[in-house]
C-alpha cells in the first residue's frame, strides 16, 4: 500500500498551543518536551507497531529516561516530585500521537505504582517503587474479572491465609501491563474472608510475576490499543508472604476505588490528547485536500465540524485540569473526576468519528492517525469505569438515585 493519502503531520510549531494556557513555565517545558518526543520518536514507529501489534520496549525505555514514569511520585522513591497535573500534561501529548503508548504510561503510574505509593508500608515502597517510578519495571492492577467489572464487589478470586502465606486462586481479565518482560508485579484484589454482615471481605495483595502458579495468559486480540500489553491472568495456588498484603485487610476494594478515581483524571487527560490529535489532523488535511477545485477547509460544513471538534477538546482539557486542581487541594474530587472522564472520553470518540468523516476514504486506512484514534477511542468510554458508571456517580453526588 502506498502512503500517498497520508497527510503531513503537524510539527511542534503547528499552533500557539492552547494546552499551554494556565500552565507554569515548568509544565510548559514538560509539555513541549513530550510533544517533541511524541512527534520525533513515537510517531515514526506507530503505524508499523500498530499493524504488527508490537509493544515497543525502546519507546518505553526512552519514556523512562525522560522521567515520565516518575512524574507523580516523590523523589525519595525515585520519582520526579510532580503530581497528576504533570502526568496529565504528558499523557495529553503522547495520546495525541499514539494512545497505546499513552496508556502504557498511564497504567504504569496510576494503576501500577500508585497503589503501592498510596497504601504500601515503607518497606514495600522502598522495595518496589524505585523500579516502577524509574520505568525499569512495570506493574499491573488486578481488579477486573469475568463477573466483576463495573461491579468490582463481585470479586471471585480468593486468598486464604495459611502458614504465614496468602494462597491465591482465581482469574483476572483485561489487565494492562501485566505480561511484558519487565512486568514485576500485579497488585491483586481477592476475597480474604467474610464480614460480620455477610459481605465479602476484599483485600489487596502484591503478587510478584515470578511467583509459581501465576500465569499471564496469551495477549488479547483487541479492536484498538494494539501496541499496549493486555492479558487475562490466572492464579493457581499462588503463594506469597503474608507481608505482601497491601494496606489494611478488608480495605482492598475501597483502596482500588480510590485509585480508580485518581486514574479517571489521567484517562481524561489521555482522552483529551486523542481529541486534540483529531483536531490537528483534520485541520491539516482540510487545508491540503482539494475537492471541486478548492481546499475542503473552505466549505462551511467542514470548517464548522472542525470548530465543534476544537470546542470538545478545549472543554475536555478544562474538565480534567479542574479535577486535578481540586485533587491537589485534598478535597473530595470524585465528582469532578467522573465529569472529566466522561466529558473527555465522549470528546475523543466524537472527534475521532468526525475526523474520519472529513478524511473520507483515507480515514478508513490504518496508516492514518484518525483511523487509529477511531479504533482506539471506544475503550475510553469503557475502561476505568464506563460512561454509565460515571453518570451513576455524578447523579449520586447530586443526591439523586444512581
CATH code of 160's domain: 2.40.110.10
| Boundary of a domain, candidates 219, 250, 281 | 250
Do 346 and 257 meet the contact criterion of CB atoms below 8 Å apart? no
Do 108 and 71 meet the contact criterion of CB atoms below 8 Å apart? no
Cell of 226: 494494539
**Which DSSP string corresponds to 85-124?**
HHHHHHHHHHHHH-HHHHHHHHIIIIIIIHHHHHH--HHH
What stretch of H or E contains 234?
strand 230-241
Measured from the Cβ of residue 303, the count of other Cβ atoms closer than 10 Å reads 14
pLDDT in tens, 324-343: 999 999 999 999 999 999 99
| Boundary of a domain, candidates 87, 118, 133 | 133
Are 198 and 304 contained in the same domain?
no
> Could you list the active site residues?
384
Report pLDDT for 16. 59
Range of the domain at 50: 18-133
CATH code of 39's domain: 1.10.540.10
Q: 20: pLDDT confidence band, cut at 50, 70 and 90?
A: confident
pLDDT in tens, 63-98: 999 999 999 999 999 999 999 999 999 999 999 999
CA 238 to chain centre: 28
Q: What are phi and psi of 180, to 5 degrees?
A: -75, 165
- Shortest CA distance to 282 belongs to which of 14, 90, 51? 14
Are 146 and 123 contained in the same domain?
no
Bridge-based pairing state of the strands 158-162 and 245-246:
unpaired
Of residues 336 and 152, the one with the higher pLDDT is 336
The pTM (predicted TM-score) of the whole model is 0.93
- Number of domains forming the structure of the chain: 3
Q: 9: pLDDT confidence band, cut at 50, 70 and 90?
A: low
CATH code of 294's domain: 1.20.140.10
Are 379 and 304 contained in the same domain?
yes
Supply angle C-alpha 98, 234, 115, rounded to 5. Answer: 60
Alpha-carbon distance 124 to 117, whole Å? Answer: 9
12: in domain? no
Alpha-carbon distance 383 to 387, whole Å? Answer: 9
Mean pLDDT, the chain, whole residue set: 93
Are 196 and 213 contained in the same domain?
yes
- Shortest CA distance to 109 belongs to which of 54, 210, 177, 27? 177
Q: What burial class does residue 223 get, using C-beta atoms within 10 Å of its C-beta: 0-12 exposed, 13-18 middle, 19+ buried?
A: exposed
| CA atoms within 13 Å, Cβ hemisphere of 260 | 23
7: in domain? no
Do 93 and 39 meet the contact criterion of CB atoms below 8 Å apart? no
Locus of grid cell 515497543? 56
Locus of grid cell 439523586? 400
pLDDT in tens, 283-333: 999 999 999 999 999 999 999 999 999 999 999 999 999 999 999 999 999
Are 239 and 183 contained in the same domain?
yes
Amino acid at each position: 500500500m502506498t502512503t500517498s493519502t497520508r497527510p503531513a503531520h503537524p510539527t511542534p510549531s503547528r499552533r500557539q498551543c492552547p494546552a499551554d494556557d494556565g500552565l507554569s513555565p515548568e509544565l510548559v517545558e514538560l509539555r513541549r518536551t513530550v510533544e517533541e518526543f511524541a512527534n520525533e520518536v513515537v510517531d515514526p514507529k506507530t503505524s508499523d507497531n500498530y499493524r504488527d501489534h508490537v509493544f515497543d520496549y525502546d519507546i518505553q525505555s526512552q519514556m523512562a529516561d525522560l522521567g515520565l514514569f516518575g512524574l507523580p511520585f516523590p523523589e525519595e522513591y525515585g520519582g520526579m516530585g510532580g503530581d497528576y497535573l504533570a502526568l496529565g500534561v504528558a499523557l495529553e501529548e503522547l495520546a495525541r500521537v499514539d494512545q497505546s503508548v499513552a496508556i502504557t504510561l498511564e497504567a504504569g503510574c496510576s494503576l501500577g505504582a500508585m497503589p503501592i505509593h498510596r497504601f504500601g508500608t515503607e518497606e514495600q515502597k522502598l522495595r518496589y517503587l524505585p523500579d516502577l517510578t524509574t520505568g525499569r519495571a512495570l506493574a499491573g492492577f488486578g481488579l477486573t474479572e469475568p463477573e466483576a467489572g463495573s461491579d468490582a464487589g463481585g470479586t471471585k478470586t480468593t486468598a486464604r491465609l495459611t502458614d504465614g502465606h496468602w494462597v491465591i486462586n482465581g482469574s483476572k481479565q483485561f489487565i494492562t501491563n501485566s505480561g511484558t518482560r519487565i512486568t514485576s508485579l500485579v497488585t491483586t484484589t481477592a476475597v480474604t474472608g467474610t464480614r460480620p454482615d455477610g459481605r465479602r471481605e476484599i483485600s489487596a495483595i502484591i503478587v510478584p510475576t515470578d511467583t509459581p502458579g501465576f500465569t499471564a495468559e496469551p495477549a488479547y486480540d483487541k479492536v484498538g490499543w494494539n501496541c499496549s500489553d493486555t492479558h487475562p491472568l490466572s492464579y493457581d495456588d499462588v503463594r506469597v508472604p503474608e507481608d505482601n498484603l497491601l494496606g489494611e485487610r478488608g480495605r482492598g476494594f475501597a483502596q482500588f476505588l480510590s485509585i480508580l478515581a485518581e486514574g479517571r483524571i489521567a484517562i481524561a487527560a489521555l482522552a483529551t490528547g486523542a481529541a486534540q490529535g483529531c483536531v490537528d489532523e483534520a485541520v491539516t488535511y482540510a487545508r491540503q485536500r482539494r475537492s471541486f477545485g478548492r481546499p475542503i477547509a473552505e466549505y462551511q460544513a467542514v470548517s464548522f465540524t472542525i470548530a465543534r471538534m476544537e470546542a470538545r477538546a478545549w472543554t475536555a482539557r478544562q474538565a480534567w485540569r479542574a479535577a486535578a486542581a481540586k485533587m491537589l487541594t485534598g478535597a473530595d474530587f470524585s465528582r469532578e473526576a467522573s465529569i472529566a472522564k466522561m466529558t473527555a472520553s465522549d470528546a475523543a470518540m466524537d472527534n475521532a468519528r468526525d475526523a474520519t468523516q472529513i478524511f473520507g476514504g483515507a480515514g478508513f486506512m490504518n496508516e492514518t492517525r484518525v483511523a487509529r484514534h477511531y479504533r482506539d477511542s471506544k475503550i475510553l468510554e469503557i475502561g476505568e469505569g464506563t460512561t454509565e458508571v460515571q453518570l451513576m456517580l455524578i447523579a449520586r453526588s447530586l443526591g439523586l438515585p444512581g
